[in-house]
A = this chain, B = another copy of it.
């Protein structure tokens, strides 16, 4: 998979912002605690490998560096410009930087889109200036960026006064400056190396998606942590995620606004379009993102990614000296859907011979005895790796592993096992001092204290592996779709969809009682008859639908009844005719639909009819288009999927036919273009043999040009 081939996005453009050889700080200050002083102080302290060019009309020297009065006076064109001046001066500074040949600007200045409509206009003007000069823009209202590897600190975060970040393979991309810096500080507290921080602020130009895309191609970063409130540019985000996946760099994302309460807080906080969280959830999963629940989980997963072992077909073997801890871990594995197959019987017998009171099934309880005799621990663990074949191993050894005499011997044992099985994920649940923890880590083990957190991290590494090795979904062929000028009526909608291979029950439109009787006889009884009118949406409410029509006499009568009811209730409605359709029965009622997400374009929705959707909100969502296999997976992912497979004594529904319809619908939506607002096929009847749309509503944006 080569993301470059698939996308028009060039994420390497951020290089000038993150790996500059020279940086101008406009609004430079001699005070290392002021916004214009902090970046300089930090770079001096960290030994920035490039040239620092302070700009301030009132000073000749800043923090020991030569200072220039204006941007024009600079001796060279800086690759990066940091703008630490008041909002009203920002435009002239950005323009001057552009004229000088600067390639990127980081705008600390606040007072733009985050303050309302005036600020939004000012931000657009500022962006236009930068674009004219071909400069990329970070911010405005950003806390900035840093890159530990080259000592570049284009940030005014005061966290640097407490501690500098550690060098290491984690990259952090955060829309929120304070949250991003908090996350970085937490990583520092845990001893995790995070070389790159990018906070995007108002995202006039550079977004979290750009940051992810850049990290996908950056040598400094192997693991990406992202915080995002809402997405703006769907295709760019997906291109960035695909680039990260292609580079085998996991993306752990905290996407906030998951509750409606949180989303409304997000909306009040930024101008960003938070969108529908359910769509975001589906999109992130499709593109291999591991969505995390909280900050600590993000850091746990980043830590667990350190050995870069991502077991695609994950399974867990637990070696424990405590039955209790084994059960706690097993509960969590079940919760995470992480398989814990039992050990092969022959291997169990072998281990029971070694330790008669052990429990070698899985968890493998080798009892405290194994810590008196480490050869027992080694035998149990090797057997789990070799005979059990588990891709991941968790050893619960508690504080005993922290003992001064045991630790060195245990580390030797683990080193041996590590060397024999280099592709397995080895995790320990122990309590030990920092030095011993570091020694266990050097032996190639992950170290946790809480068994449940360890299991969650192991499960996440498996999900990363699955995402990395998932075959790329084939893109279905798109039909040619010619949308009408105005919204089609039911019959027209079904015909339009029928052209894309989406099947409705056999039906005919009629315009007289005689025609109705004839059509019904041709289609076969029972039939259903419905009014067709572009002006009537709720047909049943006004007597526009008759069900279970059993013969020609009833069909004739129904025609008259329907027209009379409609004439009485909706006298002005334009009547296209009456639809006569074969009334199918049995099977499972489903619904399918398309809605246009403002960020990700058309998304398909699938669910079962009735309470599943209406009460339980049990639907699956996927971005369009997608192939038959993806459709099947989508259908199978709803909670009520067992209904389709024949639960409660029903015959199984034709899931292949449903998947075929859903995939075709997704292709139709992708081909139809932005005038398509929504499609509702409700119900779709899934029979044991075939699936049929019994109703179809297509909504178009009639203001857009056809």
By a beta-carbon cutoff of 8 Å, the part of chain A in contact with chain B is: 114-115, 158-159, 161-162, 174-182, 185-186, 189, 227, 229, 254, 256-262, 265-266, 268-270, 293-296, 321-328, 330-335, 340, 357, 359, 361, 363, 365, 368, 396, 398-400, 402-403, 431, 449-453, 610-612, 614-616, 639-640, 642-643, 647-648
Contacts and interface: CB of A to CB of B under 8 A. Distances in A.
Contacts of A295: 328, 449-452
A611 B643 contact: yes
Contacts of A398: 159, 178, 181-182, 185
B229 A186 contact: no
Given A268-B359, A431-B182, A431-B185, A262 B399 contact: no
17 contacts: A162-B431, A177-B322, A178-B396, A179-B322, A180-B324, A182-B399, A185-B398, A229-B324, A229-B327, A258-B331, A262-B327, A262-B328, A265-B363, A266-B323, A295-B452, A611-B611, A611-B643
B269 A334 contact: no
Contacts of A261: 330-331, 333-334, 340
Nearest to A268: B359
A146 to B, nearest CB: 15
Contacts of A400: 158
Contact of A324 (B174, B260, B365): B174
Contacts of A643: 611, 615
A177 B402 CA distance: 17
A315 to B, nearest CB: 13
B399 A181 contact: yes
A186 B450 contact: yes
A226 B368 CA distance: 22
Nearest to A456: B294
Chain B CB count within 10 A is highest, among A257, A321, A330, A452, for: A330
A334 B260 contact: yes
Contacts of A330: 259, 261-262, 265
B260 A294 contact: no
Contacts of A182: 322, 325, 398-399, 431
Nearest to A452: B294
A320 to B, nearest CB: 8
A328 B298 CA distance: 13
Contacts of A229: 323-324, 327
Contacts of A616: 616, 639-640
Chain B CB count within 10 A is highest, among A296, A363, A648, for: A296
Chain B CB count within 10 A is highest, among A266, A331, A643, for: A331
Given A175-B324, A178-B321, A229-B323, 15 more contacts: A159-B399, A181-B398, A227-B324, A265-B323, A265-B327, A269-B365, A294-B450, A295-B452, A296-B449, A296-B450, A611-B612, A611-B648, A614-B648, A615-B640, A616-B640
Nearest to A180: B324
Given A331-B259, A365-B269, A648-B611, A296 B453 contact: yes
B266 A332 contact: no
Given A269-B326, A327-B229, A335 B162 contact: no
A696 to B, nearest CB: 22
A262 B431 contact: no
A590 to B, nearest CB: 14
Contacts of A403: 158, 161-162
B614 A647 contact: yes
A177 to B, nearest CB: 7
Nearest to A163: B399
A431 B328 contact: no
A361 B258 contact: no
